[in-house]
Amino acid sequence: MTTDCDVLIAGAGPAGAALALALSPLALRVCLADAAPDPTADTPDRRALALALGSQRILAGLDAWPALVPLATPISAIAVTQRGWPGVTRLDARTVREPALGYVVGDRALQRALLARLTDCPVQRLPAAVGAITPDGERLEVTLATANGSPQRLTTRLLVAADGSGSAVCRLAGLATQQRELPDSVLLAHLHTDRPHHGVAHERFADGRALALLPAPGACDYTLVWTLPHARAADLAALPPSIVAPMLQDVLGWRAGRVRRLDQMRCVPLREQWLTQATGTRLLAIGNAANTLHPIAAQGFNSGLRDVATVAELLAGARRADDDPGSDTLLAAYQRRREADWRRLRLATGWLPRLFENPAPPQAAARSLALAALDLCGPLKRHLMRRAMGLHGPQSPLQRGRWP
C-alpha cells in the first residue's frame, strides 16, 4: 500500500513552517498545507513574539536565524515590578553568562524567514486546508479543500495539526479540548519613550493585571502588551492615544521613561485552551493547536518550538530505524515527553495572574518583599531564568542548535 506522503503538516504558520524545515533533511516525504497566502514583505506583523534563548538556538539549528538577526531585538534584561511598591526583581543575561535572555521578533517576519528557507528544501507546498480525515489502516486519507473549490485527496502516515488555536484539524479528529475562561483582553500598541531601552524589557503588575513592555528595534521603542478586563481594553483601544498615554504612564511609572508617543492600538480577547490528549490516530498537535496559553509568561510560541524539536527528534529516530512515523509508540512518546512542560506552563499562567490580583496593602507588601528577596537569591533566580529561557533539563540536538 503506497502513500502520498510520510508527514502532512496542516498549517504554515511559524510552528508548522519550523517543523517542515526540521523534517526536510530526514529523507521523509513531507507536505505542508495551508489555504492562507504566504505573508509578503508588506504584510504587517500581528504581534511581537518574545523568543527565549532556547528558541533562538532552535531557529539557528534550522539555519533560519541569520535572516532574522537584523529584525530581532535582543532582550538583555527584564525588570519585574509592582505599581506603588519598591520591590523589584531584575533578570539580567549576564547573571547566566549568556548574550541575551531572548529576542523580540514579529510573527510575520519569523514566518517569512522560515518559508523562505523552505524554498530550497524538498517539502511540497499545498495551497489548501484539511477538510476531512478518514483512518485507513496504516495511513490516513485526507481531503483538502482548495481555493477553486475542487477537493484534493491524499494519504499520509502522520498528520500534524499546526493550524493554531481552535484547530480545525483537531476538531475533525475528535480530540477533546479543555478551556479556562479568561475575563481579560490585551491592549497591544507601539510605544515611544524619551529614554533608550538598552534591551531591557519590563513586566509591571498593577490592579491585579499585568503590563509588559518588549524592546523594539528603535532605541526608544517598545511593544506594549497590557492585560485588562474586556470592556476596559476595548474602551481604551477606542480612545485617542493622547488620552490613553497619561493613563498608561500612571500605571507604568517612570522606569522606562516618559511616554512620548502611543499608536497602533488594538484590542485582542484572550483565550486559553488545550487538548486533553495531543495525539489521535496517526495524528499529533503542536503549538497553539495543542496549547493556547495566557501571554503573561510569554511562553506560548516557545513551547510550540519545543514541540517542534521533540517531534523532529522522534521522527529522525523513526527514520533511522525505518519505523512507521505515525505509530502508536511514537505518538505515545511525544505525549509523554511534552506533557510535563505543558502542565507546568498551564499551572504558571493560571496562578501568576491570581498571585497579583489582590491589591490589599498586606498582600501587596508581601509581593514587594518577595520580588526584592528573589532579586537577592542568586541560585534560585538563575534556576528560574534558565527554565524560562528554555535551557533547563535535557536538550535535544535541535535545541542545542545542531541539526540534523
Examine residue 285 and state whether it is found in any structural domain, yes or no: yes
**Are residues 136 and 212 located together in one domain of the fold?**
no
Examine residue 125 and state whether it is found in any structural domain, yes or no: yes
Examine residue 78 and state whether it is found in any structural domain, yes or no: no
Beta partners for 209? Answer: 206
What pLDDT digit, counting tens, does each position of 116-145 carry?
999 999 999 999 999 999 999 899 999 999
Rounded Cα gap, residues 156 and 1, in angstroms: 11
Determine contact, residues 204/252, Cβ cutoff 8 Å. yes
Beta partners for 18? Answer: none
Q: Can you give the CATH number for the domain in which 290 is found?
A: 3.50.50.60
**Are residues 196 and 234 located together in one domain of the fold?**
yes
**Are residues 288 and 334 located together in one domain of the fold?**
yes
Rounded Cα gap, residues 94 and 77, in angstroms: 9
Could you write out the DSSP letters of every residue in 176-194?
-EEEE---EEEEEEEEEES
Could you tell me the CA-to-CA distances from 283 to 14, 42, 112, 263, 313 in Å, in that order? Answer: 19, 34, 26, 42, 16
Of 272, 97, 295, 31, nearest to 186 by C-alpha is 295
Rounded Cα gap, residues 25 and 144, in angstroms: 25
Three-point CA angle 82, 87, 88, nearest 5°: 80
Residue 81 C-alpha cell reads as: 515590578
**Are residues 145 and 201 located together in one domain of the fold?**
no
Tell me, what's the pLDDT at 294?
A: 78
**Are residues 171 and 112 located together in one domain of the fold?**
yes
Most confident of 126-135, 200-209, 393-402: 126-135
Examine residue 310 and state whether it is found in any structural domain, yes or no: yes
**Are residues 338 and 301 located together in one domain of the fold?**
yes
Beta partners for 117? Answer: none
**Are residues 193 and 305 located together in one domain of the fold?**
no
**Are residues 293 and 255 located together in one domain of the fold?**
no
**Are residues 38 and 161 located together in one domain of the fold?**
yes
Determine contact, residues 206/253, Cβ cutoff 8 Å. no
**Are residues 354 and 337 located together in one domain of the fold?**
yes
Q: Which of 245, 269, 293 is the last residue of a domain?
A: 269
C-alpha dihedral over 111, 113, 114, 119, to 10 degrees?
120
Residue listed under C-alpha cell 498537535: 285
Examine residue 322 and state whether it is found in any structural domain, yes or no: yes
Mean pLDDT of the chain: 92
Q: Can you give the CATH number for the domain in which 193 is found?
A: 3.30.9.10
Taken in order 89, 90, 91, 95, is the CA torsion positive or negative?
negative
Q: Which of 251, 269, 287 is the last residue of a domain?
A: 269
Examine residue 205 and state whether it is found in any structural domain, yes or no: yes
Examine residue 307 and state whether it is found in any structural domain, yes or no: yes
Which residues are CB-neighbours of 234 under 8 A, at least 6 positions away?
Answer: 185, 267
CA 399 to chain centre: 15
Section 229-250 average pLDDT: 96
Neighbours of 203 (CB within 10 A): 20
Q: Which of 49-53, 138-142, 328-332, 364-368 has the lowest mean pLDDT?
A: 364-368
Tell me, what's the pLDDT at 299?
A: 79
Tell me, what's the pLDDT at 146?
A: 85
Q: Is the pLDDT of residue 363 over 90?
A: no
Could you tell me the CA-to-CA distances from 38 to 21, 43, 207, 239 in Å, in that order? Answer: 16, 9, 40, 33
Section 277-284 average pLDDT: 97
**Are residues 220 and 317 located together in one domain of the fold?**
no
Which residues are CB-neighbours of 83 under 8 A, at least 6 positions away?
Answer: 204, 205, 206, 207, 251, 253
Of 335, 321, 329, 318, nearest to 284 by C-alpha is 335
Q: Which of 242, 269, 296 is the last residue of a domain?
A: 269
Tell me, what's the pLDDT at 353?
A: 67
**Host domain of residue 327:** 5-45+58-69+106-180+272-358
Indicate the number of domains in the chain. 2
Taken in order 145, 151, 152, 154, is the CA torsion positive or negative?
positive
Examine residue 88 and state whether it is found in any structural domain, yes or no: no
Rounded Cα gap, residues 263 and 190, in angstroms: 5
Neighbours of 66 (CB within 10 A): 11
**Are residues 189 and 337 located together in one domain of the fold?**
no
Rounded Cα gap, residues 365 and 363, in angstroms: 5
Q: Which of 93-102, 267-276, 358-367 has the lowest mean pLDDT?
A: 358-367
